[in-house]
Amino acid sequence: MSERTPLLHYRLVSSVNESEQPSPPATEPSEQVPGSGGSPRKQRSSPQRPPQKLSVFFGVVIPTLLSMFSVVVFLRIGFVVGHAGLYQTFLMFIVAYFIISMTVLSVCAISTNGALDAGGAYYMISRALGPEFGGSIGLMFFLANVCGSALFVLGLVEAILSTFGVPEDVTVTATALQVLPSGYWWSLLYATAIALLCLFVCLIGAHIYAKATFIIFLVVIFVLLTVFISFFIVKPTVVTLPGSVVNMSGFPTTANFTGFKLETLWGNQWGGYTLDYTTGNMMTFASVFAVMFNGCTGIMAGSNMSGDLKNPSYSIPRGTITAVIFTFITYNLLSVLVACSCDRVLLQRDYSFLGDINVWHPFVIIGVYSSTLSAAMSNLIGASRILYALAKDDLFGKVFSVAKRTSRGGNPWLSVLISWFLVQLVLFSGKLNTIASIVTIFFLLVYAAVDLACLALEWASAPNFRPTFRYFTWHTCALGIIGCVVMMFLINVIYASASIAFMLLLLLLIHYLSPTSSWGYISQALIFHQVRKYLLMLDVRKDHIKFWRPQILLMVSNPRSTVGLITFINDIKKSGLYVLGHVQLGDLSTLPSDPLQSQYDSWLSLVDHLNIKAFVNLTLADSVRHGVQHLLFISGLGGMRPNTLVLGFYDDCLPRDKLIDPTLTSSESPNPFNPSQDLEEPPLFHFASLRGSSDGQDYGEFGNGKALGPQEYVAIISDAMKMLKSVVLARYFNDFERAQVTSPPSSTSGKVFVDVWPVNLLRPDSSSYVDTCSLFLLQLACILNMVRDWRKAKLRLFLCVEEGRSVRGSEEKLGQLLKELRIKAKVQTVPWDQVVALHWQRQDGWRKKQQSQPPDIDTDEDTAGAVEEENEEDYVNSFPSNATRVSDDYMSAVNRLILDQAQPPPAVRFLYLPRPPADTRRYAAYLRQLELLTQDLGPTLLIHGITPVITTDL
């Protein structure tokens, strides 16, 4: 066999990663869920863009497989086994795939947490970590893809010239196939032609690229099959070794392909590191591992196709994991076959030996050409899509604005041209082995950033971070970060340090120059958990719907009767601000000192006793209403302010003392022989007795004390809504015991249910299940279901339907909404024609009475004024008064309807709380309707949401 040079230098980067596609809008404006918080840029996306069409196989599996295989599977398997031995090869693959598997888990988690737009890893990082990290990593990602494309173009040229090029050494005789001229300018010409071919494919569009990669995939798989078959059918033979690039005299010129022999396997079990015949460098475990690791990267190729996938959240996890498992099995199986049939000398001195032992020698060369061309196209189209995503986000001002232009089909052709131009500039450098390592390091830095994004989202514990892919923890994210960083410094310490420094420089540049984005800042969610000095960094202008969480002010008149409510509200705060508020009636000007100061110890002891995470805020006021206003205005600090007010219900239920003084037991009594005992061991709780303390200052529970009437109670609700605070009314929580509710006896089937009625039952003419208040109910119910003790609870969502309406269509639409919101709930339809009939009979009778009454009769001035205010209110207020719209019979019928559906009865119910009427004279009627609605329902929350709290965006 004639002397030949290796097809590719062993350090050629094989991590062909990033092949991104055009970015059709994730959601049309008409499809936005209320309160989704989508950016204006998405809402303005053109509805004429083509739909996403690529499936799991074509859009994720094929690009990822080709990126992970590349040329390493053909040219470097023998290199790894020959130097490291079979056992160390297994160890290398296990370590390498463990590192990338941690990143794959993070990619799957982020990609299943909402609508994923085009941009792949850049989109994930920027939307999770903010514009600073996203822009800096995105630009490095773009440069890595540009250099990677140039690397593989030059690698393909080198492979072609090694077979068809005229030898530059005049002492070497050219074969009949070696007809192509060699030299720098000829190589540049060939590289330019290959780059133009890649440009042509990428300019046409994503689907041509998908078809081209599918053809290449078939070729690569066919060549792999021939390689596997050759081990079994090719007879033992002697292979002539290629000439060394370096002076290695004294080494053999031939080696044996022995076929399957036990002696060959024994000889290849352990490591035998020696000089690399292409460079003359001494190989070590670290250097061989760095080369092998290049063949395991490329895991982001599928996720970067997100812009053209039918369902990215479905396709990316399944396709990426499938490709990773397939390549892992292939690499290890090929290593075993090589170790059983090839002499170590053959593996160490001939990296292209698979072609020598193949049933037809050119098969492997075709595989090398195909995989390298696929890698070049993949990096070029990936670079163009990253540039297009950067241009759309305007992180660098007008520098990349020209790259926003797209064709009618949505292909960012100008981004493709710019990327190709930069690839062409890099091609002038000729040999790119010097920057091969830094390209791989850039890719590893991106993978580490993806792990960091997932770790930050997990640590932030935001309610809207609930990916459907749950096979990850913060431990896997941390291991992925550590593994990627270790690999970066293992490959090259200088390049790793330089790339991190470059990233930090870009991060600072974007932080000070780029405008504020609307993506949300993960830093705001993380700082929420930190101490006071970090609290100063919270900026209300950077609040985002994705990181919303309940910040609750629970008004407590006497903790003795509200222990159950206090512990339950602690479950739905979702790591948010939780404040126990108390109003004591009095005038400080008439008192010798502040009476609240001596009460804080008891309240703080209560917090410790109940094992809840809450703050305490007490105030002194002349009325309960003014006291609640004070607490709503002053509670919290910076970005940590209450957004939800929780009140006990106004009813006649007798409170029960659920708070036992821990310093006393039923068998103990004060010691008559030691009257100073109370001074030596003071009780932890100094709360007044229930129902009328001797000082007359305690106002009892809401609705039961002397100082608070129904008029003032409803006024408090109205005040909170005017201040844009959501309101929750809690009823029947006096006897609530979480341990008993979440662990029911086996006689009740052991199942726990949480019922949600997301429709305004006081407005039977309104059947909307998708408004801000309804989504607020769903969010709180979902948050409760995320708490450890409530995870086994099943959410039941009740859909009220009338005869003649499409029950199945409404149920499917609601089910689709729940799927988009990643909320698991069972939708149950409830026919309520008979209940609604009571309302319309009342309405018809009321209208007839008004029509029959002469307009000049003023015997009932109050009724006439109420009618005028009602009509005027319909125009002035977004929510008309309910007091004159429904009857007591209707409310009782609704109450019975709710009770009839509770089989088995739920642990807690979530009901829709309508806004109080504008006319204060109807407050009593409003409260009466709420009482009838919730009569005998058990623990119930009446909820009214003011602001959007839920989103489908990433």
> How does residue 724 score in pLDDT terms, banded at 50, 70 and 90?
very high
> How does residue 23 score in pLDDT terms, banded at 50, 70 and 90?
very low
Q: What is the 3-state secondary structure (H, E, C) of 587-615?
A: CHHHCCCCCCHHHHHHHHHHHHHHCCCCE
* 904 cis-preceded (ω within 30 degrees of 0): yes
Closest CA to 340 of 260, 271, 227, 267: 260
Rounded CA separation 269/2 (Å): 31
Q: How confident is the model at residue 802, as a pLDDT?
A: 75
Tokens of 940: 């119930």
Per-residue pLDDT at 22 exceeds 80:
no
Tokens of 952: 């489908």
Rounded CA separation 230/50 (Å): 45
For the whole model, what pTM was predicted? 0.70
Residues 6 or more apart whose CB falls under 8 angstroms from that of 797 comprise 756, 758, 778, 814, 818, 825, 826, 827, 828
The answer to whether 488 touches 444, Cβ cutoff 8 Å, is yes
Closest CA to 761 of 897, 593, 577: 897
Q: How confident is the model at residue 169, as a pLDDT?
A: 56
Cα dihedral 895, 898, 899, 900, rounded to 10, equals: 120
Least confident of 524-528, 568-572, 711-715, 880-884: 880-884
**Which residue has better confidence, 732 or 23?**
732
Distance of CA 184 to the CA centre of its chain: 48
Rounded CA separation 504/815 (Å): 44
**Which residue has better confidence, 919 or 132?**
919
Closest CA to 520 of 131, 106, 138, 820: 131
Residues 6 or more apart whose CB falls under 8 angstroms from that of 619 comprise 581, 582, 583, 584, 596, 627, 630, 631, 634
Q: What is the mean pLDDT of residues 407-436?
A: 80
Least confident of 506-510, 605-609, 867-871: 867-871
Q: How confident is the model at residue 813, as a pLDDT?
A: 79
Per-residue pLDDT at 550 exceeds 60:
yes
Around Cβ 330, how many Cβ atoms within 10 Å? 18
Q: How confident is the model at residue 283, as a pLDDT?
A: 87
Q: How confident is the model at residue 74, as a pLDDT?
A: 82
Per-residue pLDDT at 499 exceeds 70:
yes
Per-residue pLDDT at 110 exceeds 60:
yes
Tens-place pLDDT, residues 170-216: 555 666 777 788 888 888 899 999 999 999 888 887 778 788 888 99
Percent over 90 (pLDDT), the chain:
22
DSSP string, 171-194: TSPP-TT--B--SHHHHHHHHHHH
Per-residue pLDDT at 695 exceeds 70:
no
Q: How confident is the model at residue 327, as a pLDDT?
A: 92
Per-residue pLDDT at 355 exceeds 90:
no
Tokens of 949: 């709290």
Closest CA to 902 of 701, 684, 753: 753
Per-residue pLDDT at 857 exceeds 90:
no
Tokens of 385: 């899509």
**Which residue has better confidence, 928 or 847?**
928
Q: If phi over 0 gives left and psi between -120 and 50 gives alpha, with beta otherwise, what is residue 85?
A: left
Rounded CA separation 619/633 (Å): 12
Least confident of 196-200, 530-534, 823-827, 932-936: 530-534
Q: Render the burial of 555-586: b for 16+ CB within 10 Å, e for the rest.
A: bbbbbbbbbbbbbbbbbbbbbbbbbbbbbbbb
Tens-place pLDDT, residues 121-149: 788 778 777 787 788 888 888 888 888 88
Q: 16 in helix, strand or coil?
A: coil
Rounded CA separation 930/941 (Å): 11
Per-residue pLDDT at 49 exceeds 70:
no
Rounded CA separation 202/314 (Å): 25
Least confident of 27-36, 279-288, 339-348, 376-385: 27-36
Tens-place pLDDT, residues 624-648: 999 999 999 998 887 788 999 999 9
Tokens of 326: 């397939």
Q: How confident is the model at residue 871, as a pLDDT?
A: 44
Tell me the β-bridge partners of 909.
755, 940
The answer to whether 436 touches 151, Cβ cutoff 8 Å, is yes
- In the chain the domains, ranked by start, together with CATH numbers, are 56-168+177-243+252-513 (1.20.1740.10), 546-654+707-727 (3.40.50.620), 737-842+881-944 (3.40.50)
Q: Which amino acid is it at 942? A: L
Least confident of 523-537, 563-577, 755-769, 779-793: 523-537
Q: What is the mean pLDDT of residues 902-906?
A: 83
Q: What is the mean pLDDT of residues 774-793?
A: 89
581: phi then psi, degrees, rounded to nearest 5: -105, 145
> CA–CA distance from 800 to each of 153, 264, 831, 833, 898 (Å)?
63, 74, 6, 9, 11
Per-residue pLDDT at 863 exceeds 90:
no
Per-residue pLDDT at 582 exceeds 50:
yes
Rounded CA separation 283/292 (Å): 12
> How does residue 432 score in pLDDT terms, banded at 50, 70 and 90?
low
> How does residue 566 score in pLDDT terms, banded at 50, 70 and 90?
very high
Per-residue pLDDT at 917 exceeds 60:
yes
Q: What is the mean pLDDT of residues 542-563?
A: 87
**Which residue has better confidence, 536 or 866?**
536
Rounded CA separation 250/277 (Å): 12
Percent over 70 (pLDDT), the chain:
77
298: phi then psi, degrees, rounded to nearest 5: 95, 10
> How does residue 707 score in pLDDT terms, banded at 50, 70 and 90?
low
Highest mean pLDDT among 107-111, 685-689, 698-702: 107-111
> How does residue 755 score in pLDDT terms, banded at 50, 70 and 90?
very high
Rounded CA separation 402/379 (Å): 21
Per-residue pLDDT at 265 exceeds 60:
yes
The answer to whether 522 touches 457, Cβ cutoff 8 Å, is yes
Q: What is the mean pLDDT of residues 425-429?
A: 84
Task: Give the gyration radius of the chain's Cα atoms.
Answer: 36
Closest CA to 429 of 183, 141, 158, 184: 184
Q: How confident is the model at residue 377, as a pLDDT?
A: 87
Around Cβ 765, how many Cβ atoms within 10 Å? 10
Q: How confident is the model at residue 524, as a pLDDT?
A: 67
Q: What is the mean pLDDT of residues 541-561?
A: 86
Q: How confident is the model at residue 617, as a pLDDT?
A: 93
Around Cβ 868, how many Cβ atoms within 10 Å? 10
Q: What is the mean pLDDT of residues 921-943?
A: 92
Q: What is the mean pLDDT of residues 239-254?
A: 67
Q: How confident is the model at residue 676, as a pLDDT?
A: 40
The answer to whether 721 touches 915, Cβ cutoff 8 Å, is yes
The mean pLDDT of the chain is: 78
Q: How confident is the model at residue 944, as a pLDDT?
A: 94
> CA–CA distance from 790 to each of 83, 262, 743 (Å)?
55, 59, 9
Residues 6 or more apart whose CB falls under 8 angstroms from that of 876 comprise 918
Rounded CA separation 641/649 (Å): 23
Per-residue pLDDT at 682 exceeds 70:
no
Q: How confident is the model at residue 632, as a pLDDT?
A: 94
